[in-house]
């Protein structure tokens, strides 16, 4: 037997996101959807709200201080912060001040207040006093949230490996899945955002690392038609679009799209192992 993992980033009812669907060729192996909880999504939404607020306020700060920084040489070239300040002053009009830059400048000026003009110092430190706590809250919450996701995937990987079965994962480009913005990718902004929240590459890496540690093969399987092929009779439903559920036009069996794909990936894993074993035997 083998385990198959259909990777995804589909938002389900109730606000949760499905990171993957797991199935196996054994009759007693239940289908499982790897879901990122509503609590996780609410934390992410809160982080995004904090970041949006900081972005807006940093943009306003940048518009206020850029003309002041451009009005002459504000720091000697040998000063450690010369390049930092010059980059902000010389940034094109369409490039806004980031909240990271605003926080960094505020932290610096609190300890070295005399290096820039009073007008700049007053505006930057005013921003810092109003937003430093929000910045720290966002930073700490994001760190904890992403650490929770990483640990969740690590535990899941250990549980899968404990079955002692080979694991098949649909073959995907991890570099593309890890990107947040990629012009060549046809994903919508919404789907791209969901992919980032799920971090499929992190899940796959956790499974591969656990398999390598325990000596369990983790095999990449060609995902072509894994969703469209009926796992009961083998017919390829070429008319299938984005439907999450479908009935086979040939044998009538009802399928959950992702569960069907996971089962086909598990079977593809066994086929690939058999081919590899055959090549080794022939050699």
Confirm if 178 and 201 have CB atoms less than 8 A apart.
Answer: yes
Which residues touch 135 (CB under 8 Å, ≥6 apart)?
Answer: 54, 99, 103
What span, in angstroms and rounded, lies between the C-alpha atoms of 137 and 76?
34
CA distances from 155 to 49, 90, 167, 195, 269 (A): 29, 48, 16, 20, 23
Phi, psi of 226 (to 5 degrees): -65, -30
Which residues touch 250 (CB under 8 Å, ≥6 apart)?
Answer: 230, 233, 235
pLDDT less than 70: residues of the chain:
72-73, 174-195, 279-283
Residue 127: CA count within 13 A, CB half-sphere: 32
Phi, psi of 123 (to 5 degrees): -70, -45
pLDDT at 130: 97
pTM to 2 decimal places: 0.81
């Amino acid at each position: 037997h083998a385990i198959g993992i259909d990777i995804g980033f589909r938002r389900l009812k109730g606000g949760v996101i499905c990171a993957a669907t797991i199935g196996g060729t054994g009759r007693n192996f239940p289908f499982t959807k790897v879901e990122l909880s509503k609590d996780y999504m609410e934390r992410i939404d809160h982080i995004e709200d904090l970041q949006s607020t900081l972005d807006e306020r940093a943009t306003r700060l940048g518009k206020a201080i850029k003309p002041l920084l451009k009005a002459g040489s504000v720091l000697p070239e040998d000063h450690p912060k010369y390049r930092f300040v010059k980059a902000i002053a010389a940034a094109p009009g369409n490039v806004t001040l980031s909240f990271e830059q605003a926080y960094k400048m505020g932290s610096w000026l609190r300890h070295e207040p005399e290096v820039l003009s009073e007008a700049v110092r007053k505006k930057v430190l005013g921003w810092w006093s109003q937003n430093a706590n929000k910045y720290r809250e966002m930073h700490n919450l994001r760190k904890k949230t992403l650490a929770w996701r990483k640990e969740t995937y690590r535990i899941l990987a250990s549980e899968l490996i404990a079955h002692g079965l080979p694991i098949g994962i649909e073959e995907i480009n991890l570099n593309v899945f890890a990107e947040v913005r990629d012009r060549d990718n046809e994903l919508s902004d919404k789907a791209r955002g969901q992919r980032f929240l799920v971090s499929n590459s992190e899940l796959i890496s956790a499974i591969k690392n656990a398999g390598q540690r325990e000596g369990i093969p983790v095999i990449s399987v060609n995902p072509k038609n894994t969703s469209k092929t009926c796992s009961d009779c083998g017919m390829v439903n070429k008319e299938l679009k984005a439907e999450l559920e479908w009935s086979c036009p040939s044998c009538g069996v009802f399928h959950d799209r992702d569960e069907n794909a996971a089962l086909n990936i598990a079977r593809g894993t066994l086929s690939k192992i058999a081919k590899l074993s055959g090549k080794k035997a022939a050699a």
